[in-house]
């Protein structure tokens, strides 16, 4: 039988601090010791493009939210109450944020990735349709380019920024803990959480960077939320445990199964 207990192992959460609580609570419920080390900071942005979308939302056929931060930023700017166009979200956490505004998504893909969302749009005629896409400008181009290949007109609006943390002290402490065998599990919930971590480690611990990577590869269990994040980790020759469904709950369940094998 798979183990259902972390047995007080130390599990690192690298996601932004405002999004860490759910994962931290899940880890604690399985007797793990969550340690939050944010490698990504989110800053909501009220760009002119976002303002334009909010002021002209009735001219759009769809609005697509690809993260809870995008939903928050949109409704921080939008004062119109109901949203008069159809709404698509990339996954359940984004949908939950939308539900806080008494709105339901018209489309949620089976697979919570840009590719999954594009697949869901295959059976919908978006030729000539106007689609609003509030998100970070650092996101991949797969979704807007795919929608445009279907004939849609896509307006991207910066609604938040994903940046490297200004304070690297927790990451430097993490480096020491990895080298001293104090970390059992590292979790990553987006490619940027991985890239930012290794960028900061290389920058601040250049002489130990190789040793840190070696330690992670050999002595730390790494969990990824999905294939895009796993692909980012492979750039550092790090293998990751990955669930079939891309949520933090499924990531932890899959991790527990792996540890029990």
Beta-strand ranges (E) seen in the chain are 10-13, 33-36, 41-44, 62-65, 86-89, 130-135, 153-158, 160-163, 185-188, 221-224
Same domain, 33 and 53: no
Does 151 lie in the same domain as 51? yes
Same domain, 94 and 146: yes
Listed as ranges, residues in the chain with pLDDT below 50 are 1-2
Asked whether residue 3 is assigned to any structural domain, the reply reads: no
Tell me which of 162, 179, 205 is where a domain ends.
Answer: 162
pTM of the entire predicted model: 0.74
**Do 90 and 173 fall within a single domain?**
no
Domain range holding 229?
10-40+166-260
Task: Select from 210, 255, 205 the least CA-distant residue to 236.
Answer: 210
CA angle, 214 then 215 then 221, to 5°: 115
pLDDT in the model for residue 4: 76
Distance CA 98, CA 86 (A): 13
């Amino acid at each position: 039988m798979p183990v259902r207990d972390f047995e007080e192992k130390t599990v690192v959460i690298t996601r932004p601090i405002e999004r860490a609580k759910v994962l931290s609570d899940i880890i604690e419920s399985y007797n793990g010791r969550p340690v939050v080390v944010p490698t990504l900071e989110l800053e909501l942005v009220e760009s002119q493009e976002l303002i334009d979308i909010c002021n002209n939302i009735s001219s759009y056929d769809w609005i697509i939210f690809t993260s809870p931060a995008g939903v928050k930023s949109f409704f921080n700017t939008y004062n119109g109450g109901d949203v008069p166009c159809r709404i698509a979200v990339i996954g359940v956490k984004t949908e939950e944020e939308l539900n806080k505004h008494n709105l339901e998504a018209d489309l949620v893909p089976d697979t919570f990735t840009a590719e999954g969302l594009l697949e869901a749009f295959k059976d919908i005629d978006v030729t000539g349709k106007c689609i609003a896409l509030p998100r970070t400008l650092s996101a991949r181009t797969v979704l807007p380019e795919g929608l445009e290949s279907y004939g849609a007109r896509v307006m991207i609006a910066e609604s938040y920024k994903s940046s490297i943390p200004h304070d690297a002290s927790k990451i430097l402490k993490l480096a020491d803990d990895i080298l001293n065998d104090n970390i059992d599990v590292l979790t990553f919930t987006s490619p940027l959480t991985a890239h930012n971590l290794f960028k900061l480690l290389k920058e601040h611990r250049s002489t130990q960077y190789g040793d840190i990577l070696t330690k992670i590869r050999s002595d730390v269990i790494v969990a990824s939320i999905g294939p895009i994040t796993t692909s980012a980790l492979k750039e550092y020759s790090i293998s990751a445990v990955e669930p079939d469904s891309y949520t933090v709950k499924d990531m932890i369940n899959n991790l527990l199964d792996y540890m029990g094998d």
